[in-house]
Chain A
Amino acid sequence: MSHESATQHRSTPLLIATSAFIFIWLIVAAFPFFWTMWGSFKIQADFFSKSDWSNAVTGVNTTARYGHAFTGVAYEGAWVQQDFWRAAVNSLIVTVSVVVISLTFGTLGGYALARSTARYAFALLIVALIFRAMPHITLVSGYLLPFFKLNIWGYLPTAIIVLVAINQPFTLWMLRSFFMNVPRELDESALVDGCTRGQAFCYVIMPVMWPGVITTGLFSFLLAYNDFAVTATILNQHNQTMVPKIASFLGTTQTEGNVMFAVASVVSATAPLFVLVLVFQRNIVSGLTAGAVKG
C-alpha cells in the first residue's frame, strides 16, 4: 500500500499540519451533529434559546422544568405520542425497496452501457445526465395530476418507483464505471464457454461486482432515506416516511414543543445511518476503489 511507504518519510511539520487540519475538519464536520444530539435531551427554551445560547449547554430551563439537565420527553413525544415508529417502518420499506430495485435495474442497464460500443449507448448516457439535471420539484408537480387520476397517489409503491426512476441516472453512471473496470475478457470467455449474456452476467460478472454494487447501494440508500421533495408531496399522512414526518413536526407555525420532537427524531433517524456507515465503511471505500473512480 502506498501510504505505508509514505508514512515512513513523513516530516514533523507536515505531520503537525495534517493533524491540525484533520482536527479542525472533524470539529467543523461533526460539531453541529453533536450539538443537535446534546440538544435533543433539552427543552425548546434551552436548545432554541434567543436569550443565551449557553442555555443549550447547561440546560437551565430543562432543570427548572424536570429537575434534571437531561430529559427524554422529546423522544417520548416523537416515538410514543406522535407515532414516529410508523414513519420509521415506512422509511424502512421505502429505502430497502428503492435500493433493491435501483440496483437490479441499474446493474442490468449499467452493464449494457459499459459493454455496448454503439453511439446510441453514449447518447443514452448523456440523456440520463440531462434527466438528472431536472429539478425534482418540477418533476413532482408534474406527477400529481396523473397520479390522482390513476388513483395511485399516496401509496408507498408509487413513491418507491418514482424514487427508483429519479435515482436511475446516477446509479447507471456509477455502475457503468464499475463495469468498465471489469475486464471484457471475463465476459468473452464465459460466452465462449457457451453461456448466454444473461448467464454470463449472473454467474461471472456479478460475483466480482459486489463492492461496486454495495457502494452504489449506499448512495441510493441515502437518497431514498433523505428524500423530502418526493415523499412529502406524493405520500399521504398515513404513509409518510421519516423526513416528511419530521418536517410536519415543524409545521407551518412550529407549535412549541413539537420542534423538539423534530430534533429528537432527527437524531433517531441518523442513528441507523451511523450503524450503516460503520458497517459498510470498508465497502464504500473498496467499492469505489473497484470502479467509479476510473470515470
Chain B
Amino acid sequence: MPHRTFWLFIAPSGIAMLLFIALPIVSVIVQSLHIENEKVLIVSESCGPFGCKETTRVDEEASAALNAERPLGRFNGIGTYTNRNHLAFEEVSAAWSGRSSFADFVDGVMNLPFYKALVFTLTYTFVSTPFVLALGFTLALAVNSLHRWLKGVVIFATLLPFIITPLIGSLVLFWMIDADGIIGKTLQFIFDNPELSLKASPALTWITIITYGIWHSTPFAFIVFYAGLQTVPGETLESAMIDGASRWERTRYVVIPYLAPLVVFVCLIHLMDAFRVFEPIVGFNASANATSLSWIIYNDLSQEVQLFGSAGATSVLTIIGVMILLAPVVWLTWRDYRSA
C-alpha cells in the first residue's frame, strides 16, 4: 500500500489518538518529572462558626509569583519515581541492609505502598489469566456441543457478567458476599464456620476479588474461543478421528493449535485489563486488604490536594509494567508480521 494512502486512511483514528491519548501521555510524563513550587506559608487568624484560631495558610500572592516564574513547578528528574510512595529506592535498600532474614526484608518491602499494590496486581493478573483462559475454553467446548436451540440461551446468560455495569455489579455482589448476605451465609454453611467473613482477612479478600475478576472476564474469552471453534476445519477433525484419535487427542492436537492465535489475542487483552484492576477494589471497599496500581493513581487524584505528579509517575510505571508483561506477546506478533 502506498505510504500516502496509508496515512490518509489512518488519519482520522491517528489524530483522535494523538489528541486524546498521546498528548495527555506526554503531559503526564512531563508532570511526573516535576514537583510543585514551594508553597509560602504564613500564619493568620481564621474564624468560623466554631470560633477563631491561629492557622497556617498558603500565601497566595507569593506562591502565585513563584508559579508564574516556573509554571511547570520544580524539575525533579526521576525523584518522584524513586520516592517512598513509588519505587522507594532508599527504603528498599535500607530494608536490605538492615534485614535480619530474607523474610524480614520482604516484610519491609511489602510495607511500602507501591510494592504492596504491585504484588496484588501481579497476583491478580497471573492467577486470573489461566483461569479465564481455561474456563473460557472449556465453556466454549461445552457450549459448542450443546443442542442448537439451547446454545442461544446459554450464550446469552454467559455474557451477563461481562455486560453488567461493573460499578453496580460489584455493589450487589458486595451485599451478597457480606457475612449476613446470601452468598456469605451459604459459605458459612458450607464450611461450617459461622465466623467466616470474606471481607475480614487479606487472603479471603484477595480470593474474592480474583474470583470476581474471573467471573467478569470469562465471558469475553468464551465468546472469542467459541467463535474460533466454528472455524476449525471439519475435515481435519474427521481425518484425525479416522486415524483413531480420541476426543482428548483431537482437542489437544487439532483444536488447541488451531486456536493458538486466539489464545494470544485473549491473553493480550486480559493481561492488560487485569493489570489495571480497579473497580472491584472500590466496589468491595477492599482497599484495606488489597490495593492495585490503578487504585494508587485513583487515591492520588481523588483526594483534596490532588497529586498529579505522583499519579503521573504511577501511570508511567503502570505502562512500563504492561509493556514488560506484553513483550512476549508483542514479540510473537512481530514474528508473524515479518513472515506475513
Contact = CB atoms under 8 A, between A and B. Distances in A.
Touch A–B, Cβ below 8 Å? yes
A62 to B, nearest CB: 16
A53 B165 contact: no
Given A129-B330, A295-B264, A295-B265, A285 B223 contact: yes
A155 interface: no
Nearest to A250: B171
B52 interface: no
Contacts of A113: 10
Given A30-B160, A134-B315, A109 B167 contact: no
Nearest to B215: A28
A124 B228 contact: no
A63 B124 CA distance: 43
A29 B219 contact: yes
Contact of B168 (A124, A129, A170, A246): A246
A138 B28 contact: yes
B157 interface: yes
A253 interface: no
A213 interface: no
A164 B16 contact: yes
Interface stretch (A65-73, A78-86, A261-269): A261-269
A197 B232 CA distance: 32
Given A118-B6, A246-B168, A284-B227, A295 B262 contact: yes
Contact of B312 (A7, A48, A138): A138
A133 B125 CA distance: 14
Interface in A82-116: 104-106, 108-109, 111-113, 115-116
Number of contact residues on B: which range applies?
A: 35 or more
B180 A53 contact: yes
A164 B168 CA distance: 24
Contacts of A51: 180
Contact of A285 (B13, B21, B28, B230): B230
B306 interface: yes
B155 A137 contact: no
A115 B1 contact: yes
A53 B326 CA distance: 44
Mostly, the B contact residues are: helix
B100 interface: no
B182 A29 contact: no
B146 interface: yes
B294 A293 contact: no
A203 interface: no
A289 interface: yes
Given A53-B180, A135-B276, A142-B28, A277 B159 contact: yes
Interface stretch (B54-62, B190-198, B316-324): B316-324
A107 B168 CA distance: 33
Given A273-B163, A288-B227, A293-B231, A281 B155 contact: yes
A128 interface: yes
B20 interface: yes
Contacts of A288: 223-224, 226-228
Interface string B148-186: 000010111111111111111101110110101110110
Contacts of B118: none
A18 B332 CA distance: 34
Given A288-B228, A289-B230, A293-B231, A108 B308 contact: no
A166 B21 contact: yes
Interface in B285-310: 293-294, 297-298, 301, 306, 308
B318 A135 contact: yes
Interface residues of A, number: 103
A141 B307 CA distance: 11
B224 A293 contact: yes
Interface in A1-57: 1-3, 5-7, 9-10, 14, 18, 21-22, 25-26, 28-30, 32-33, 35-36, 39, 47-54, 56
A234 to B, nearest CB: 11
B249 interface: no
B165 A10 contact: no
A116 B163 contact: no
Contact of A134 (B14, B146, B319, B326): B319
B234 interface: yes
Interface stretch (B43-51, B85-93, B135-143): B135-143
A116 B337 contact: no
Contacts of B231: 289, 293
Contact of B17 (A35, A54, A131): A131
A22 B146 contact: yes
B250 to A, nearest CB: 8
B102 interface: no
A186 interface: no
A243 B117 CA distance: 27
Contacts of A285: 155, 223, 226-227, 230
A165 interface: yes
Interface of B: 1, 3, 5-6, 9-14, 16-17, 19-22, 24-25, 27-28, 138-139, 142-146, 152, 154-169, 171-173, 175-176, 178, 180-182, 184-185, 215, 219, 223-224, 226-234, 237-238, 241, 247, 259, 261-262, 264-265, 268-269, 272, 275-276, 278, 293-294, 297-298, 301, 306, 308, 311-312, 315, 318-319, 322-323, 326, 330, 333-334, 336-337, 340
17 contacts: A1-B230, A2-B144, A2-B232, A18-B145, A26-B154, A53-B185, A56-B182, A105-B12, A109-B13, A124-B14, A131-B22, A138-B24, A141-B306, A168-B16, A169-B17, A243-B167, A295-B336
Given A18-B146, A284-B227, A285-B227, 6 more contacts: A108-B9, A124-B14, A135-B297, A139-B24, A293-B228, A293-B259
Which 4 residue pairs of A and B lie closest in terms of their CB atoms, listed nearest first? Answer: A288-B227, A295-B261, A165-B20, A112-B9
